[in-house]
A and B are shown apart, each in its own frame.
With several copies, the nearest count.
Chain A
Amino acid sequence: MSHAIRIQQADFDVGAEWAELQRQLAGRAGAMASFCGVVRDQFDAQAIQDLELEHYPGMTERSIEAVLQRADARWTLDATLVIHRVGCLRPAEQIVLVMTAARHRQAALESCAFIIDSLKTEAVFWKRERSTSGERWIDSTSADHTRAARWRNERQ
């Protein structure tokens, strides 16, 4: 199983990541799932100006690696990839990419959802949103915690 984690300021190219993963797998995996989070242009009817992402080098990678290891223990996966941007991002910019590959579609789809849900509550990042109504630090929501708890409680 290949894990890849990249934290970067630069944007990422979903097509290039997708093609590279397919090239590596070469027919071994029948299913690839992915999720991409994008900076929205509005929140609570306020126009968003930008989103500032802060991280803790070293510990952030470790927190993501722990999530990928749990995914790997739970599903039979051929590859997982997480790319997470930091710095100042404007609306419509990509924030995060999760990609999973597996022999079977259920493993690819569920692990992809599990990873992004887990990043919301466990990955070491902080986000400051600047909008027309001012600045605020974003916390994970109660919905995020409900989804994270669902994964913990669900027996496969």
Chain B
Amino acid sequence: MAVTVRFFAALRERVGRDTLTIEGVPPPSLHALRLCIGARLGADLVAALAAPEIRVALNHEFIHGDPAFSDGDEVAFMPPITGG
């Protein structure tokens, strides 16, 4: 079982990588996921990933509220977007 985490743009640069695989039982909440990431890549990331401007997508959809994660999910942490 695994959840794939992706980081983009300024966050990717800060984390130093674009993908992280969280093996084992999927984290039961967004906060638990951030703690897992912090444990693997540095505790200061927990607050950085919870910053108000960071949006989170689950399987290519922005999440609202706190979803449960399942095996095979792809979670993305995204700094402010702008196209055009």
**Residues of chain A whose beta carbon lies under 8 Å from any beta carbon of chain B:** 37, 54, 56, 58-60, 62-64, 84, 95-96, 105, 116-117, 119-128, 137-140, 144
Contacts and interface: CB of A to CB of B under 8 A. Distances in A.
Contacts, number: 65
Interface residues of B, number: 15
Interface string B61-84: 100000000000000101111111
Contacts of B57: 56, 59
Interface of B: 6, 8-10, 57, 60-61, 76, 78-84
A96 B83 CA distance: 9
B9 A121 contact: no
A124 B80 contact: no
B15 to A, nearest CB: 14
Given A119-B83, A140-B80, A126 B60 contact: no
